[in-house]
Amino acid sequence: MNILFAVLSKKERVKQLDMKKERTFVMIKPDAVQRGLIGEIISRFERKGIKIVAMKLLLVDKQLAEKHYDIHRGKPFFEPTVEFITSSPVVAMVLEGNNVIETVRNMMGTTDPQKAAIGTIRGDFGQYIGRNIVHGSDSTENAEFEIKLWFKPEEIVEYTRIDESWLFE
Ligand code: IDP
Ligand code: MG
């Protein structure tokens, strides 16, 4: 750490490190729930130091699924994706952390598990684009929209994790 950095206030250091506290919406899809991968996936986020601020297991109805995938309406995979997402329970979560939207997307890997890098969630556990294990918001706008769609404000919990001071200066 350089001397200048050390004398900066915490707020200034955070700014210099380009830290951005964000929230993202993550869903563990029916294939991963059925295959017993809930713990494995949540564990990866926990070990990265990402905070879970909301979580529930639910059977998704058609209306919610269609709203969630509305941006893909009209595409050939829209109907099959809605059918898949409503076929069996999912785990819905709100995750919070520094640049968490991009971090989670990187941890998930690219949409097609065949092409996703080994070491990513999709790359390690999936084989087919229509069964790709996990969803994560792709932008701040979509994260905001999806969090509002899936969770009531009172379902999101503010708290401090004990390891926060060990993850950041
Ligand atoms: P993303 O989940 O990586 O953001 P999107 O392009 O937003 O990918 O697609 C949403 C979801 O629709 C995918 O996660 C996948 O479940 C499904 N999907 C997308 N493209 C295809 C496809 O070509 N075949 C089958 N399913 C698809
Ligand atoms: Mg997407």
Measured in residues, the chain has a length of: 169
Ligand nearest to the CA of 135: 1
Structural contact between residues 80 and 72, judged by C-beta atoms closer than 8 angstroms: no
Instruction: Write down the pLDDT at residue 4.
Output: 61
Answer whether residue 141 is part of any domain.
yes
Give CA 12 to chain center in angstroms: 28
User: Six-digit token pair at 80?
Assistant: 């099959």
Answer whether residue 48 is part of any domain.
yes
CA of 46 to the centre of ligand 2 (A): 22
Give pTM, 2 decimals: 0.92
Closest to 148 measured CA to CA, from 17, 22, 24: 24
Closest to 121 measured CA to CA, from 5, 31, 2, 10: 31
Answer whether residue 168 is part of any domain.
no
pLDDT, block means (10 residues), the chain with 169 residues: 61 66 98 98 97 98 98 98 98 97 98 98 98 98 98 97 89
Q: Which residues span the domain enclosing 48?
A: 14-156
Answer whether residue 3 is part of any domain.
no
72 is catalytic: no
CATH number at 55 reads 3.30.70.141
Number of domains in the chain: 1
Answer whether residue 95 is part of any domain.
yes
Instruction: Write down the pLDDT at residue 2.
Output: 58
